[in-house]
């Protein structure tokens, strides 16, 4: 069987793809990239790691399951699983807003820790890195983790 590509077929396909960027390989991934360095995956943002750990520890502190927190905070269970398990996950602003409301935390600071704010408060970033380093998301909350969580909550609630 021979495949024939006619001029009519090519014109029809060109019309369909009229405004599409067409490419293969790295160019297909990001046609606006200026160099190969643009394709390198950025390192994990420490603040994003702290956000996932914070949500996990707050949930555990309140004795909630993933399903329980998702229901009480009115967010999708799949979003919560991604937040706690994937440090590269960027949650939706509504999800972060709902979590901040449920945990009674400053919304703009939590947005920053979640990586959704362009504002960078270095004090808050340093606190989040310190918090992430002192917490273990899989074990029960130790006194040290509990005090680290409380200190991080105070940092999130500050209005500086």
Taking only the tens place, the pLDDT of each residue in 30-52 is 555 555 555 454 454 555 778 88
Say which CATH number the domain at 99 has.
Answer: 1.10.260.40
Distance CA 41, CA 11 (A): 37
| Residue 59 and residue 66 in contact, taking contact as beta carbons nearer than 8 Å | yes
Residues 73 and 110 in one domain: yes
Residue of 16, 18, 37, 14 lying closest to 26 (CA atoms): 37
| Residue 131 and residue 149 in contact, taking contact as beta carbons nearer than 8 Å | yes
The residue range of the domain holding 19 is 7-39
How many folded domains does the chain comprise? 2
127 φ/ψ angles, rounded to the nearest 5 degrees: -65, -40
Helix (H) or strand (E) holding 123: helix 122-133
Distance CA 131, CA 58 (A): 13
For residues 112 and 142, which has the higher predicted lDDT (pLDDT)? 112
Distance CA 71, CA 74 (A): 5
- Label residue 102 by pLDDT band (50, 70, 90): very high
Asked if residue 135 belongs to a domain, the reply is: yes
Q: What is the DSSP letter of 36?
A: G
pTM value? 0.60
């Amino acid at each position: 069987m021979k495949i024939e590509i006619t001029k009519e077929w090519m014109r029809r396909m060109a019309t369909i793809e009229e405004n599409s960027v067409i490419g293969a390989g790295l160019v297909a991934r990001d046609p606006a990239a200026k160099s190969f360095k643009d394709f390198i995956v950025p390192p994990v943002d420490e603040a994003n790691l702290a956000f996932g750990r914070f949500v996990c520890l707050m949930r555990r502190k309140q004795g909630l399951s993933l399903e329980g927190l998702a229901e009480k905070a009115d967010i999708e269970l799949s979003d919560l699983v991604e937040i706690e398990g994937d440090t590269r996950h960027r949650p939706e602003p509504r999800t972060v807003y709902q979590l901040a409301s449920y945990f009674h935390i400053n919304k703009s600071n939590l947005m920053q820790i979640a990586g959704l704010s362009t504002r960078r408060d270095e004090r808050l970033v340093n606190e989040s890195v310190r918090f992430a380093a002192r917490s273990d998301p899989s074990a029960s909350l130790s006194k040290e983790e509990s005090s680290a969580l409380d200190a991080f909550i105070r940092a999130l609630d500050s209005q500086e």
